A = this chain, B = another copy of it.
Amino acid sequence: MSSFPLTPNNRITRLPKRGEYDLDAIYSILDEALVCTLAFVREGQPVQIPTGFCRVGDKLYVHGSVGSGYMRAMAEGMNVCLSVTHVDGLVLARSAFHHSMNYRSVVIFGTTARVTDENEMYLALEAFTEKVQPGRWNDVREPDAGEWKATLVLSITIDDASGKVRTGPPKDDDEDYTRDTWAGVVPLKIQRLAPIPDQLLKEGVPMPDYLK
């Protein structure tokens, strides 16, 4: 499968030319996001949780405490909607109406399940840590028995997926191009600032190469 099939759930109906269903494109948007929002229905009402997540193969994973009410509810298997958005730029048009943003977003409809296979759980926890900082897993203490028991890992199957992407300059109405109004794009980028060592860092421990 190289793209997600169109269904009533994932078809982009507003501005369909911005729709993106290619598998690699959707995975790439997901993988770049540090957090997602996870939506579910509780007593008929919509609820959202912002949370970290990762992808391994064709599944998404979130994790939390075994003491968390919503994690325990999802462990039983729930329909969820998960989304991520990257804002890549401010699109300043000549008219208020055509102001926009450049963005890449993905919306997933999926089903949760508790991960009980120890190998799958280990790989998911490794992927979480490596997502926060590639190269990190080999440097840190792995989960001990108590931490392992306290952690609930959920897998989310991707039942439907769609992306939506806007790039490029503003698109104005023909008659507005003669206006004396500056128009263009202000690109936005997430910048990593210099790492701040913990004040309790053991003396002599160097900063790892992957942070330089």
Contact = CB atoms under 8 A, between A and B. Distances in A.
Copies in the complex: 2
Nearest to A188: B190
Nearest to A206: B182
Interface residues of A, number: 93
A1 interface: no
Interface string A82-111: 110101001111111101010101010100
Interface stretch (A19-27, A35-43, A113-121): A35-43
Contact of A69 (B13, B83, B176, B180): B13
B187 A193 contact: yes
A179 B69 CA distance: 34
A191 B196 CA distance: 19
A83 B198 CA distance: 31
Interface of A: 13-14, 34-35, 37, 39-41, 44-50, 52, 64-65, 67-69, 79-83, 85, 87, 90-97, 99, 101, 103, 105, 107, 109, 125-126, 128-129, 132-133, 136-137, 139-144, 147, 151, 164, 169-170, 176-202, 205-208, 211
26 contacts: A14-B65, A35-B85, A35-B101, A37-B37, A37-B39, A37-B48, A37-B83, A37-B85, A41-B41, A41-B45, A45-B81, A46-B81, A92-B133, A92-B195, A93-B140, A94-B141, A96-B128, A97-B143, A99-B136, A169-B196, A169-B198, A182-B205, A182-B211, A183-B198, A188-B191, A189-B193
